[in-house]
Amino acid sequence: MRQNDEETLNDLYNLILNPATREWERSALSSTKNALEEGATIDDQLSKLEAKLRPLALRNNLTPDVTDFYNSITGNASADAQFDFTKHSIDDLTYQDSAVFAGGCFWCMVEPFETKNGIISVLSGYTGGHMDHPTYDQVSGQYTGHVEAVEIIFDTRIIHYEELVELYWQLTDPTDAFGQFQDRGSQYRPIIFVRNEEQRKITEKSKQRLIESGKYKRPIVTLIEPTSVFWPAENFHQQFYKKNRKRYKRIERSRQQFLAYQRLQGKIRKELNHFTRKP
């Protein structure tokens, strides 16, 4: 058997055992496995499996790991790119630190941080909930209490935590407690997770400055909470902006249009307030 065929079979078996795989997907994968065990050719069976999965794949409605598998058997190498989870770690306690931000869909929270000088790694994941090893379906269904978030490892000699907090405010709507932009639900609520007292003080001062700025008409509702276990999201979600550029750009454009409109409203409101206060 060819090496790549062995790898494909191994992926197939792992997906069948994966608790995150939906039952319909598992049934299709199991049928393929059974046929292969009975002597069918792998190319023929993968072609049939691709046809079964295609309708949901085209609607972006496969579970993350099955989506990766679908991309691999259809030759979509860029979308199937594997994130190296082993590189997401603090290796220098003197000059490295971490920050965790929840600001709606984590797809749009990676690129703005990852492209900054001094950022070592950005990981999409789930945090703040009450279940171990949550899956995307569980979090999306609001069964676990988790929010989608990003964990950022950065070099403190190059970029400071204060700068990350200020960037976070620019990327989110701090007046929306029920989601962010087009993403609705408790899993998208805005939260800054702080891992020590220093981060808490910095975040609280930054939030207070934002409140006093008068930029927003509605109250600032972004929460500040202590960090908890950060569970990495499935590979499909990592660096989404690189692997699914067109889809990412559509979502990001919508967010930016809303933020631009919100900033314009704030600017007009501040100018009107300044005008009405003149003697």
Show the CA angle centred on residue 45, arms to residues 79 and 23, nearest 5°: 70
What SS3 state is found at 215? Answer: coil
Burial code (b: 16+ CB inside 10 Å, e: under 16) for 4-14 equals: eeeebbebbee
Q: Residue 27 and residue 59: Cα distance in Å, rounded?
A: 19
By CB atoms closer than 10 A (0-12, 13-18, 19+), residue 35 is: middle
For residue 110, the model assigns a pLDDT of 97
For residue 1, the model assigns a pLDDT of 43
Q: Is the pLDDT of residue 265 over 90?
A: no
Q: Residue 184 and residue 178: Cα distance in Å, rounded?
A: 6
Q: How many CB atoms are located within 10 Å of the residue 258 CB?
A: 14
Over residues 144-177, the pLDDT tens digits come to 999 999 999 999 999 999 999 999 999 999 999 9
Q: Is the pLDDT of residue 5 over 50?
A: yes
Over residues 46-85, the pLDDT tens digits come to 999 999 999 999 888 999 999 999 998 898 877 778 899 9
For residue 275, the model assigns a pLDDT of 60
Of 28-32, 251-255, 261-265, the range with the highest mean pLDDT is 28-32
Q: Is the pLDDT of residue 261 over 90?
A: no
| Active site residue ranges | 105
| Nearest C-alpha neighbor of 194 from the set 260, 128, 246 | 128
Average pLDDT of the residues of the chain: 91
Over residues 91-146, the pLDDT tens digits come to 999 999 999 999 999 999 999 999 999 999 999 999 999 999 999 999 999 999 99
DSSP 235: G
